[in-house]
Structure 1
Amino acid sequence: MEPAHSTGSDPVPDSDRGQAPSAASAKPSRPARTGRKNRDWLHGLLMSLPSVGGLIAFVGIPFGYAVVLSFYNVRLGSPLEPTFFGVEQYRRLFTDPDLSGPFLRALLNNLTFALVVVPLQTGLALALAVLLNRKLKAIGVFRSFFFMPVVFPMALVAVIWRLILARSEQGMLNSLLDALSFGNWGAFDWLGDGATAMASIIVLSVWQGVGFQMVILLAGLQQIPTELYEAAQLDRASRWQQFRHVTLPGIRGTLVFVALLTSVLSFRVFDQVYVLIRGGGLDEDATRTVMYQAVTTAFDQNNIGQASAITVVFFLIVVVLTLVQRRVVRTDNED
């Protein structure tokens, strides 16, 4: 008998049959991928609801209410009904010398404070984080020591620094300088002098807040793989070269976050200024901030409408500056 000839309808060999289904099954279908993306989006939305709800309740609604109040003449404690003013509050804020002068001076003080505090506090926090990123005995004690001022209320910090910078010879700084100069220093009004008032606020603010940024940067440093430093040492890189080419690129995103956070917090400066102006003899014109201006307008002058206009304008200015800064310092993997 002659052997049977194979035809085109012959069954596919077992090896070929086994490969085709495996290749097809390795590639998920489009509906499956779409369903997974929808589930991930839904899960992300549900997880973000508490934060979004908090922002809406404690930021969005109060800001919207402030926008509404800025269009009315509202006097705190007045028996008269609020009257609609339109944009009169905003016009007065920029054209009335009695209002525009203090507001522009407060805005300039805010910008000066931010321009000094943001690079100074971020750089100091980075230096402390690098120094404390070591495996030494009792290193946790040193980390806690530098972080301790963060847990102090700003009002308490202001009182402590008022004792340090007091004008009398009993002030700690004046007493130290008097001892170092063998009695030739005398008393200097660090808070009341316009040339040193803002510098005093900057020093106490950096002292109180640098520990928070330090902890964030320290966490970023600990995420850098040690293999990168070992490879750099094999290439005979110096410590500065390791810091420049390994450390800084490894914490670039963390540095951007810290800079943005410090910028926002620096524009919110209020507590230390208010406490020291009211009880510590701080020069008001040299250290007046926009938040201080808004609070005093609302509760000292009882002008809620004008204070609301100040906060709305300041909010928009801070948002624009933050977006510009975010655009400038964005990371390489962002659009």
Structure 2
Amino acid sequence: MALPAVAGLIAFIAVPFITAIALSLFNVQINQVRPATFVGLDQYIRLFTDPLVSGAFLRSLINNLVFAIVVIPAQTGLALLLAVLLNRKLRGVRFFRTLFFMPVVFPMALVAVIWRLILDRSSDGLLNASVHFLTAGLVPTQDWLGSSATALGSVILLSVWQGVGFQMVIILAGLQDIPEERYEAARLDRANAWQQFIHVTVPGIRNTLIFVVLLTTILAFRVYDQVYILIRTAGANESATQTVLYQATNSLSSDNNLGRASAISVFLFVIVVIITLIQRRLLRQRSEE
């Protein structure tokens, strides 16, 4: 019964990962007639020691970590808030559920185009026009994507807006599985709304929240589409917004170095696995306590 799923995991995850490990040990130049040469761990060492490579790689790694540190709690917390608000029997609640989930089904290319118009550096950009109106012109026009101070924050805002609906639906499904009798018992004990949330709602969706946090962590380190589109089409600050996955694809497309791209991909995979395992252990221990 498990054979189709296991075969899919082997074909689409295990084999490509093993291939990436093998390629990272060679100096492989695509579209070159020269054969690949074995270099061992040289590709990994150069990521941290070669001035031509390490600067961009370490910058992308820092950007990725900052992105994850901000997005994971912000997106999870906002998804929990929206799920709690929409888990009520109110008129029109289905419309709002659809409205908040709609950005998830939009292609990232469309989302990036929409936010490129919002974050446009000119005074006609929606965000600049709104800030100008609210501050009576006291705040000058900002280059939200071009400035190193605001570029990554703009990408974070876009990503949270686009992805929060997915986590909201997962948490909403968990909320609807909590028996109503628990809330009735809490009300009989004169628990207010906040106490019900802390002692009934959160424990009731504990496993769901753990899953959402782990999923958001993986997606935060996989961020690529919006970064690539905004850098290539909207003039976003490349140094301030590039991520590890962007650096890997850039090593392949711009530097023609398949071995380095594979090394970066393997390094990213190991980081995500380590962080996910640590996060899972900490969350499990806190839940049991």
Q: TM-score, normalised by structure 2?
A: 0.96
Counterpart of 2:123 in structure 1 is 169
2:244 pairs with 1:290: yes
Query: For each residue in 1:85-130, what CA deviation from the matched residue of structure 2 results, as whole angstroms up to 9, or x when unmatched?
Result: 1221112112111111111111111111001000000000000000
Runs of at least 5 residues in structure 2 that lack an aligned partner in the other structure: none
Name the aligned partner's letter for residue 280 of structure 2: R
Counterpart of 1:13 in structure 2 is none
Distance 1:237 1:62 in 2: 53
Counterpart of 1:57 in structure 2 is 11
Answer with 86-95 or 199-208: which moved more: 86-95
Counterpart of 1:76 in structure 2 is 30
Distance 1:54 1:135 in 2: 41
Query: For each residue in 1:171-202, what CA deviation from the matched residue of structure 2 results, as whole angstroms up to 9, or x when unmatched?
Result: 11111122223344332100011111111011
Distance 2:286 2:178 in 1: 17
Counterpart of 2:156 in structure 1 is 202
- Matching residue within 182, 185, 197 for 1:231: 185
Counterpart of 1:40 in structure 2 is none
Distance 2:227 2:261 in 1: 18
Matches within 5 A, 1:175-254: 175-254=129-208
Query: What is the SS of the residue equivalent to 1:329?
Result: helix
8 Å Cα contact 1:252/1:331 also seen in 2: no
Distance 2:286 2:67 in 1: 29
What is the alpha-carbon root mean square deviation over aligned residues?
1.4
Distance 1:316 1:272 in 2: 23
Aligned length: 288
Query: What is the SS of the residue equivalent to 1:135?
Result: coil
Q: Which has the larger radius of gyration?
A: 1
Identity %: 62
Distance 2:33 2:40 in 1: 21
8 Å Cα contact 1:253/1:331 also seen in 2: no
> Taking structure 1 as reference, are residues 53 and 258 closer, same or farther at Cα in structure 2, changes over 3 Å only?
same
Matches within 5 A, 1:1-335: 46=1, 48-330=2-284
Q: TM-score, normalised by structure 1?
A: 0.83
8 Å Cα contact 1:277/1:284 also seen in 2: yes
Distance 2:108 2:121 in 1: 21
Distance 2:9 2:98 in 1: 31
Q: Give the C-alpha shift of residue 333 in structure 1.
A: 8.3
Name the aligned partner's letter for residue 58 of structure 2: L
